[in-house]
Amino acid sequence: MAEVLREEYGNPSSVYAEGAAARARVEAARAEVAALLGARPADVRFTSGATEANNTVIAGLLGPGDHVVTSAVEHPSVDAPLRFLESRPGGGGLRVTRVAPDATGRVEAEAIAAAIRPETRLVTLIWANNETGAIQPVESVASVCRERGVTFHSDATQAVAKTEVDLRQVPCDFVSCSAHKLGGPKGVGALVGADNARLAPLLRGGGQERGLRGGTENVASIVGFGVACALARKEGEARAARARTLRDRLWAGLQRELPGVGWNGDPAHTLGNTLNVRFAGVEGEVLVQALDLEGVAVSAGAACHSGAIEPSGVLLAMGLTPQEARGSLRFSTGAGLSEADIDRVITLLRTLVPRVQAGEGA
Ligand SMILES: Cc1ncc(COP(=O)(O)O)c(C=O)c1O
């Protein structure tokens, strides 16, 4: 990326040599993204990330009165545009069926199939959840959609490079992903699908990305995305196995040291790097801050909106009480962590959790 920024600042749309060099860089990266996902290079459209890819599918495909089937555990970049179109001023909004997950955060493929109606235009289902790591039955849902002739999109942002996302095996019409979830730069992602030409662009302009996204390409970031995909193809399996070993060590330690701790999800259907756990009688935010002071970065099962702490909608949809959701933490394991780091987190929580439970603060 540094090389491109310093030395190769051509515009891929220009015909002179610098432009052609930048174009070659972009196309090489496109081939890497395609290879990782089992797609054709021509099916990959670069975007500013998964948020834009998700919005492009939703806004680019759906019209007033269309029906959409989705889950109640989508990322906000799917949920918010659907809600916006549902409540479009002047009526004629979208109709959306949100299929509830079970207590482990998974939806049943049969429940999605049962929600499909003759006027259903799109089924969109997150591949793996960003808060719990729950892996959805995407393959079954994709097959049902193919049989019923309904367009299927999956937000695979969390799944790519952490579990198998092979579009030769799973018949998705569209898949969204984001480079920074697999070690690439922030602010670049892709929408992948053979039938991208069906979508109305979100950004109209110079017709880049085969007309789907006007605007000069972010060449350096695209190059970084390509490198991240190449590395993921080479090292992804080993990385995922390592993350799982560390995650399992963390879970074993928490169970040993903190009776009453509960896993929000089903280990058999969870990304290997994710552990979302609830601790009885604690405010997760207090633990997040205490761990941060110790140099440990975790997320709470809650989001802070305008100063008020809201329990996670994903955890509530799984049937947790607001109190349980607020007492939940999400741990992610990955590059740069050692067994000793995991053991230190376990030791810290062994002290912190009883203190917070006793109302002593952290
Ligand atoms: C599941 C999921 N979808 C979409 C996004 C949005 O990605 P970006 O912020 O890169 O657009 C994220 C990022 O956190 C995510 O986890």
How many domains in the chain? 2
- Position 344 in a domain: yes
Phi, psi of 20 (to 5 degrees): -65, -35
Ligand 1 atom at minimal distance to the Cα of residue 52: 11
- Position 307 in a domain: yes
Residues 204-211 have a mean pLDDT of: 96
- Position 353 in a domain: yes
Per-residue model confidence as pLDDT tens digits over 55-106: 999 999 999 889 999 999 999 999 999 999 999 876 678 999 999 999 999 9
Structure confidence at residue 270 (pLDDT): 98
Clarify whether residues 227 and 249 are in a common domain: no
Give the structural domain span for 350: 236-357
Number of C-beta neighbours around residue 291 at 10 A: 19
186 Cα–ligand 1 center, Å: 10
Q: Per-residue confidence at 359, pLDDT binned at 50, 70, 90?
A: confident
CATH number for position 94:
3.40.640.10
Which of 172, 177, 229, 304 is an active site residue?
A: 304
Structure confidence at residue 21 (pLDDT): 96
Q: Per-residue confidence at 335, pLDDT binned at 50, 70, 90?
A: confident
Clarify whether residues 323 and 203 are in a common domain: no
- Position 171 in a domain: yes
Structure confidence at residue 193 (pLDDT): 97
Phi, psi of 139 (to 5 degrees): -65, -45
Structure confidence at residue 91 (pLDDT): 63
Structure confidence at residue 308 (pLDDT): 66
Clarify whether residues 200 and 319 are in a common domain: no
List the structure tokens of 287: 């633990």
- Position 58 in a domain: yes
Lowest mean pLDDT among 51-65, 96-110, 226-240, 348-362: 348-362
Q: Alpha carbon of 224 to those of 54, 238, 288: distances in Å?
A: 21, 21, 31
Summary mean pLDDT of the chain: 95
Per-residue model confidence as pLDDT tens digits over 308-319: 678 999 999 999
Structure confidence at residue 218 (pLDDT): 97
Clarify whether residues 94 and 131 are in a common domain: yes
Clarify whether residues 341 and 296 are in a common domain: yes
Q: Percentage of the chain with pLDDT > 90?
A: 91
Residue 353 has pLDDT above 80, yes or no: yes
Q: Is 229 in the active site?
A: no
56 Cα–ligand 1 center, Å: 14
Buried b (16+ CB within 10 A) or exposed e, 235-261: ebeebbebbbebbebbbebbeeebeeb
Clarify whether residues 128 and 226 are in a common domain: yes
Which residues share a beta bridge with 303?
310
Clarify whether residues 204 and 271 are in a common domain: no
Clarify whether residues 201 and 327 are in a common domain: no
| Cα-Cα-Cα-Cα dihedral sign, residues 175, 83, 55, 264 | negative
- Position 314 in a domain: yes
Last residue of a domain, one of 171, 203, 232: 232
Any idea what DSSP says for residue 135? B
- Position 362 in a domain: no
Clarify whether residues 31 and 178 are in a common domain: yes
Which residues share a beta bridge with 305?
308
Clarify whether residues 22 and 71 are in a common domain: yes
Q: Per-residue confidence at 255, pLDDT binned at 50, 70, 90?
A: very high
Structure confidence at residue 74 (pLDDT): 98
Among 332, 47, 16, CA closest to 179: 47
Last residue of a domain, one of 191, 213, 232: 232
CATH number for position 321:
3.90.1150.10
Per-residue model confidence as pLDDT tens digits over 114-151: 999 999 999 999 999 999 999 999 999 999 999 999 99
Query: For a substitution probing ligand 1, which of 47, 56, 57, 75 has the most ligand atoms within 8 Å of its CB?
Result: 75
Clarify whether residues 203 and 79 are in a common domain: yes
3-state secondary structure of 3: helix
51 Cα–ligand 1 center, Å: 6
Per the document, the length of the chain is 362
Structure confidence at residue 360 (pLDDT): 80
Residue 302 has pLDDT above 70, yes or no: no
